[in-house]
Structure 1
Amino acid sequence: MARVALRSLVPSRLRTAGGKDGPVPKDVPEPEPDPPRGRRVGAVLVRVLATGFAFVFMVAFAVVLARLTLQPSPASEALTHSNLHPGRSLRAYLDQPELRDAVKQIGGNLLLGVPFGVLVPVVAPRARGLLRVLALTATVMLLVELAQGSMVTGRAFDIDDVILNTAGALVGYLFIGRRLGRAVHARAGSG
């Protein structure tokens, strides 16, 4: 009983993290007080709005992706062929006489993956992290290419498209998505 009474007189900074009396090591920071309730509610509201906006943008992106990749192209049916060898289409793009055509093909496929790298960490917080974003992007793009190659007239499966789309997601994640995901979901567990 006397120990409890004495303990209440000892400042908390002199107690160790384990609750025993004694000085706290210098490298152990003082626990921060909980933010006021209004600030927590505001943070949750911002998180919900940012996630909702990112979700709407992701749905819009999915519609654009479907229109760009799953629209039939009967005029190019005789020109298309599947590519299962990484790098083959890239070499063909770079061998074209017009540099503009190569930039359009390679740059377009890279840009198509960027929204995944930016939006996935916001929309799906459990999918945050470089490897998870890349795996999710590669899986989605592989499914798009499989659908394109098997069901769409004038389109073919191309593994280089999957690689370029995934590389675009990497760029989007490293430049924007990682920071944006942390900003929106950083304190999801606290408060």
Structure 2
Amino acid sequence: MTAEADSSARRRSVGRLLLRAAALAAAFLALVAFSVVLAKVTLTPSPASEDIVTSNLKPGRSLRQYAEDYTFLAACKQAGGNLLLGAPFGVLLPILVPRRLRMIRMTVLTVLVIAVVELAQGALVAGRAFDIDDVILNTAGALLGYALIGRRLSHRYHVLSDEPVAADTEKPARRAPARTGPALGSRAKPGTEAKTGTKAKRAARPTAWIKAKRGGRPRTEPTARRSASAPVARGRALLDRWRSRREGPGGGAPGARRRGA
């Protein structure tokens, strides 16, 4: 039974390891594919808007422009596109980063990546400019994706990766079988038991066997027997001597011998 349990535990551990590796590889490949799409969308030159687009370092300026100058559908398309562009960060990054403080790590990484992309847009790509509102919208989209999907997905992944460790630590330690004395009818070979073992076996003997061995009197430890019976034996010896002296050599009372004489 133990061998079968160990083999089944190994199979479960290997299955969890393979599933964890597959999930990690899928998240990494999805992040690479998203990075390609992000680069294609954000780093594609736009010569037609080269004279119109300007850099924005003031938070909220572009959002106000969407509300005032754009139509409702155009504003939703511009703001919603930036939110959707940051959502994959909130879904995939929590799986790749450690479990501790994963939301903070995901947010910091998203801000860094989007800031680098925006800086590359403003410095290298024609018709593109750095916009702080795009960084804010992309980060908000990452937080939204984390709250809707990424949190649960990363929680399941990390629980799956932590299960083998928890199972190994929760295994109860094997206890050594307690040594008990031999049966009443068995004989132990001389020289095979230590003194401590002999004392323990004497203390573990049943009371009925002790009474039968001692003729009805319970058996105690040698030190306790000597300390308890020595004064009683001395008192009995003194009482017997006193009676023998008083009764005389004939065994009768001294007064009775004088009257008979």
Q: Shift of the alpha carbon at 1:95?
A: 1.1
How many angstroms apart in 2 are the aligned matches of 1:64 and 1:180?
22
How far 1:117 moved relative to its partner? Answer: 0.2
Matched residue of 1:53: which SS?
helix
Counterparts of residues 1-80 of structure 1 (less than 5 Å): 36-80=9-53
Deviates more, 1:75-84 or 1:174-183: 174-183
Aligned position for 2:116: 143
TM-aligned CA deviation for residue 41 of structure 1: 1.1
What is the CA-CA distance between 1:181 and the residue it aligns to? 1.0
What whole-Å deviation, never above 9, does each CA across 1:130-176 have from its counterpart, x for those lacking one? 11111110110000000001110000000000000000000011111
Contact conserved, 2:97 with 2:106, CA < 8 A, in 1?
no
- Equivalent residue number for residue 89 of structure 1: 62
Name the CA distance, whole Å, in 2 between partners of 1:67 and 1:60: 11
Specify which of 99, 114, 130 is matched with residue 157 of structure 1. Answer: 130
> In the aligned structure 2, how far is the partner of 1:67 from the partner of 1:181?
27
**Offset, 1:94:** 1.1
Identity %: 56
Give the letter for the 1:51 counterpart. L
Q: Distance in 2 between matches of 1:94 and 1:80?
A: 17
Change (3 A) 1:128 1:50: farther
* TM-score under structure 1 length normalisation: 0.78
Query: CA offsets, 1:12-39, max 9 Å, x none?
Result: xxxxxxxxxxxxxxxxxxxxxxx81211
What is the one-letter code of the residue matched to 2:67?
A: L
Aligned length: 158
Cα drift, residue 184 of structure 1: 1.2
Structure 2 SS opposite 1:36: helix
How many Å separate the matches in 1 of 2:151 and 2:44?
Answer: 32
User: How large is the RMSD of aligned CA atoms in angstroms?
Assistant: 1.8
Question: What do the CA deviations read for 1:80-121 (whole angstroms, capped 9, x no partner)?
Answer: 100000000000011134101100110000000000000001
* Partner Cα distance (1:148, 1:164) in 2: 16
Query: Normalized against structure 2, the TM-score is what?
Result: 0.58
One-letter identity of the residue aligned with 2:104: L
Bigger radius of gyration among the two: 2
Q: Which runs of 5+ in 2 are unaligned?
A: 1-7, 165-261
1:177 equivalent to 2:150? Answer yes
Higher helix proportion: 2
Name which structure has the greater RCO, CA cutoff 8 Å, separation 6+.
1
Pair 1:127–1:168, CA change in 2 (3 A): farther
- Alignment check: 8 A CA contact 1:120 1:128 kept: no
Q: Which amino acid aligns with 1:38?
A: R
User: Cα gap change, 1:105/1:127 in structure 2, threshold over 3 Å: closer, same or farther?
Assistant: farther
Alignment match, 1:27? none
CA contact 1:121–1:127 (8 Å) conserved in 2:
no
Mapped partners of 2:110, 2:72: distance in 1: 28
Whether the aligned pair in 2 keeps the contact of 1:77 and 1:155 (CA below 8 Å) is: yes
